[in-house]
Amino acid sequence: MKPVLGIETSCDETAAAVVDGDGRILGEAVLTQLAEHAPFGGVVPEIAARAHLRYLPGQVRQAMSEARMTFGDLGGIAATAGPGLIGGLIVGSQFGKGVSLARGIPFVAVNHLEAHALTARLPGLVPDGAPFPYLLFLLSGGHSQCIAVMGVGRHLRLGGTLDDAAGEAFDKVAKLLGLAWPGGPALEAIAANGDPGRIELPRPMMHRPGCDLSFSGLKTAVAQTIARIGPDLSDGQRADIAAGFQRAVVDVLADRAVHAMDMMRTRFPSAGLLVVAGGVASNAAVRTGLAKAAGSRGFSLAAPPVRLCSDNAVMVAWAGIERLRLGGSDSLDAAARPRWPLDTLEAPPV
């Protein structure tokens, strides 16, 4: 199969990548719009859309030249068409459609969540290649979901967050602690110096049936703790709060993962793989907690490398390859969709 160009513009990464049918990354360019959004403490959709417009052509040029290719060498062009911020989705998918139309190359409108879900199937990442079905625990800044991945275009949402996404909770608590955005990595860094047992924090949803998550109560508890101590936190207090919060999140995620694995086994007795993805999966304590949880249920844990866990265009190109291989592609009037739940995807005929 000829290589596919992937384009990712659903949030604040402007990324392009060329991947071949064997999963080899021939060219890649990822630009994180940190400088644009940092002054506002979060992603500003309008600024993101304008930045994608400005940066995307250069990113595509860079990925294509690294791959030593022209558009005529491609077997397809895959762009994230949802879910995400509508401005960026339009920029990326219209770019893809333009190239598709100009060069007569098939276009694939990729669901961003499916791209995260199928990343584990990139050759070489998981020892036996992540055969379906497997369980995906997606923990990013915008999504926290447990998904049964049954096939390309075939997904079942087992549960997810009722309020904040896991990364969003890290970011908000980091902000309460006065850390810079995005707060997840900064919070993990200071948590390393803290005592996770010093501050009592709740574990929302723990031991409840199902695998839904909720973080708003935990975030409020942190805010109340800080209010009680007063505005001038010492570095030690800050570290203890960060460590206590991180421990609470890990406990909740491990418990929810155990429930999700049990749900998965009930439906698919052969399932034995838990894949974690999303920026939060780069947190070492989260990985360790989930590995333990997986072990306790006889599952193995696969955590793709951080650069493939967070938003990137390799996963979009790969999702395109999986669709194209099954004979799937999309028409040029496929809409960009800010909301696009995974279980509404259409499975290609098999």
Region near ligand KG4 per CB under 6 A, out of 44-52, 180-188, 221-229, 339-347: 180-188
- Measured from the CB atom, is 5 or 281 closer to ligand KG4? 281
Site for ligand KG4, residues 196 to 215, rule: CB under 6 A:
none
Q: How far is the CB of 24 from Zn ion (least distance, A)?
A: 22
Stretch that binds ligand KG4, among 145-153, 183-191, 211-219, 252-260 (CB under 6 A): 183-191
User: What token pair was written down for 298?
Assistant: 């006889």
Smallest distance, ligand KG4 to C-beta of residue 10, A: 7
Closest to Zn ion by CB, 74 vs 78, is 78
**DSSP, res 127:** T
Residue 301 bridge partners (DSSP): 274
The nearer residue to Zn ion, 115 or 158, going by C-beta atoms, is 115
Nearer to Zn ion, 140 or 145 (CB): 140
CA 186 vs. chain centroid, Å, equals: 19
Nearer to Zn ion, 14 or 140 (CB): 140
- When the beta carbons of 84 and 204 are compared against ligand KG4, the nearer one is 84
Binding partner of 100, given Zn ion, ligand KG4, none, CB within 5-8 angstroms per partner class: none
Distance, in Å, from the CA atom of 335 to the CA atom of 320, rounded to the nearest integer, reads 16
Distance (Å, whole) CA 276 – CA 9: 21
User: φ, ψ for residue 97 (rounded to 5)?
Assistant: -65, -35
Q: Which is nearer to ligand KG4, 64 or 238 (CB)?
A: 238
Phi, psi angles (nearest 5°) of residue 32: -95, 125
The only residue of 3, 133, 167, 289 in contact with ligand KG4, by rule CB under 6 A: 167
Long-range pairs for 325-332: beta carbons < 8 A, 24 or more residues apart: 325/1, 325/21, 326/152, 326/350, 328/108, 328/152, 328/153, 329/76, 329/106, 329/107, 329/108, 330/81, 330/107, 330/108, 330/109, 331/107, 332/97, 332/100, 332/101, 332/107
Residue 28 binding partner per list ligand KG4, Zn ion, none, with a CB distance cut-off of 5 to 8 Å that depends on partner kind: none
CB of 167 to ligand KG4, least distance (A): 3
Residue among 163, 10, 140 at smallest CA distance from 83: 10
3-state helix, strand, coil in the chain (%, to 5): 45, 20, 35
In the numeric block, which tokens belong to residue 46? 């309008």
Q: List the single partner that 141 binds among ligand KG4, Zn ion, none, CB under 5 to 8 Å by kind.
A: ligand KG4
Cβ at position 188, least distance to ligand KG4 in Å: 4
Contacts of 231 (CB under 8 A, 6+ apart): none
Give dist(CA 144, CA 290) in Å, integer.
Answer: 14
Residue 188's binding partner, choosing from Zn ion, ligand KG4, none, with beta-carbon cut-off 5 to 8 A by kind?
ligand KG4
DSSP annotation of 25 = E
Should residue 141 be labelled a site residue for ligand KG4 when binding is judged by CB under 6 A? Answer: yes
Residue 327 CB, shortest distance to ligand KG4, in Å, is 29
142 lies in the binding site for ligand KG4 (CB under 6 A): yes
Of 7, 11, 190, 313, the one binding ligand KG4 by CB under 6 A:
11
Interface residues with ligand KG4 (CB under 6 A) are 11, 140-142, 167-168, 170-171, 182-185, 188, 278-280, 282-283, 310-311
